[in-house]
């Protein structure tokens, strides 16, 4: 589950900052909230200290940490001035290194990291469960490579358990809110919202259909889109068999009619379950464990 935490770190420009004396961990973690916050901050910091950047020893880590703490409080901390500072430090292509911009660039790198952390967890609904002081302490220890309070394996377990619980909560909320919408029906745990009623026939459980779709997670992030696939590849989507898709699609599409447009809300147990969908090419999850899904579907054709 470690890979999912990069829903905050994936957008981070992974340039790291080192230098200066390394602090010694003297922090005490007395509550679960403190331990989780420290672990999340450290995980974010490890994406910098473990980046393999050869310029790491030259960087000002105190400035990185100061910037991170500011970005954690203010989602507008990283603006045009910081963008210019990073271009000055790394060049337009991101491959140069100008020591003239070290302090300003490192601070702005920290701001970017803090803003990414903040925005990602606010959207996910997790930020309210954290203690910002301990997030910063974990981040600081990780970028200084003195992260010794909590073992890395224990950090990952804390993060995984929290993330899975959050996915369950977000999924439950998504289905409950969807059920309150007009023109909806609940079928075997699914919620189906009719946007435009179809006039044609409905498929059978083992039927073959042609459909366009947009796949989103519970917080509204687009994960897949057949429209985008056709746009960028120039290829048409293929028909598919309902006995070869997730249970939510097989059950839900039997309630739809050819020519109709629908929103389909699927609980995790009728989607990709406890395991999610891991992508070894990206070394990350395409769909998280315990993640409820929502689909916009246009039922184009029910085929023989």
CATH number at 262 reads: 3.10.50.40
Per the CB < 8 A criterion, the answer to whether 42 and 147 are in contact is: yes
82 and 193 in a single domain? The answer is no
Spatial separation of the C-alpha atoms in residues 264 and 283, rounded to whole Å: 28
Spatial separation of the C-alpha atoms in residues 216 and 234, rounded to whole Å: 22
189 and 299 in a single domain? The answer is yes
> Would you state the structure tokens that stand for residue 62, as one six-digit string?
């105190």
Residue 172 lies in a domain: no
pLDDT the model gives residue 8: 36
Could you give phi then psi for residue 69, rounded to 5 degrees? -60, -35
7 and 146 in a single domain? The answer is yes
What pTM was computed for the model?
Answer: 0.83
> In tens digits, what is the pLDDT along the chain, a chain of 304 residues?
333 333 333 333 333 344 444 444 578 899 999 999 999 999 999 999 988 888 888 889 999 999 999 999 999 999 999 999 999 998 888 788 888 999 999 999 999 999 999 999 999 999 999 999 999 999 999 999 998 888 999 999 999 999 999 999 999 999 999 999 999 999 999 999 999 999 999 999 999 999 999 999 999 999 999 999 999 999 999 999 999 999 999 999 999 999 999 999 999 999 999 999 999 998 889 999 999 999 999 999 999 8
28 and 129 in a single domain? The answer is yes
Domain count, the chain: 2
Spatial separation of the C-alpha atoms in residues 256 and 250, rounded to whole Å: 11
Instruction: Please tell me whether residue 119 adopts helix, strand or coil conformation.
Output: helix
Residue 108 lies in a domain: yes
Residue 177 lies in a domain: no
218 and 275 in a single domain? The answer is yes
> How many H-runs (helices) and E-runs (strands) does the chain carry?
9, 9
121 and 186 in a single domain? The answer is no
Residue 28 lies in a domain: yes
274 and 215 in a single domain? The answer is yes
* Burial of 244 from C-beta contacts in 10 A (0-12 / 13-18 / 19+): exposed
* Burial of 69 from C-beta contacts in 10 A (0-12 / 13-18 / 19+): buried
pLDDT the model gives residue 96: 85
35 and 97 in a single domain? The answer is yes
197 and 143 in a single domain? The answer is no
Spatial separation of the C-alpha atoms in residues 38 and 21, rounded to whole Å: 21
Q: β-strand 277-279 against 284-287: which pairing, if any?
A: antiparallel
15 and 129 in a single domain? The answer is yes
Residue 238 lies in a domain: yes
pLDDT the model gives residue 162: 96
Residue 78 sits in which domain range? 2-150
């Amino acid at each position: 589950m470690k890979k999912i935490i990069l829903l905050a770190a994936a957008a981070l420009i992974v340039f790291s900052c080192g230098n200066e004396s390394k602090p010694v961990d003297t922090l005490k973690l007395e509550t679960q909230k403190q331990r989780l916050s420290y672990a999340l901050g450290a995980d974010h910091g490890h994406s910098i200290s473990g980046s393999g950047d050869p310029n790491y020893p030259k960087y000002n880590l105190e400035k990185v940490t100061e910037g991170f703490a500011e970005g954690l409080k203010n989602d507008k901390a990283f603006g045009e001035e910081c963008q210019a500072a990073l271009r000055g430090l790394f060049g337009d292509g991101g491959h140069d290194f100008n020591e003239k911009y070290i302090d300003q660039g490192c601070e702005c790198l920290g701001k970017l990291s803090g803003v990414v952390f903040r925005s990602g967890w606010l959207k996910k609904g997790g930020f309210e469960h954290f203690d910002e002081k301990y997030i910063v302490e974990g981040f600081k220890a990780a970028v200084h490579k003195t992260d010794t309070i909590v073992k890395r394996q224990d950090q990952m377990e804390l993060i995984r358990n929290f993330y899975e619980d959050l996915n369950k909560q977000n999924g439950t909320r998504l289905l409950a809110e969807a059920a309150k919408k007009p023109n909806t029906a609940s079928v075997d745990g699914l919620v189906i919202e009719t946007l435009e009623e179809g006039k044609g026939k409905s498929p059978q459980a083992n039927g073959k259909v042609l459909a366009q779709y947009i796949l989103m997670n519970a917080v509204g992030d687009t994960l897949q889109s057949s429209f985008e696939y056709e746009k960028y590849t120039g290829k048409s989507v293929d028909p598919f068999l309902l006995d070869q898709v997730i249970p939510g699609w097989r059950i839900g599409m039997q309630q739809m009619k050819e020519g109709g447009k629908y929103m389909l809300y699927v609980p995790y147990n009728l989607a990709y379950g406890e395991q999610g969908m891991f992508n070894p090419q990206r070394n990350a999850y395409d769909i998280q464990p315990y993640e409820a899904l929502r689909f916009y579907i246009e039922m184009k054709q029910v085929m023989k």
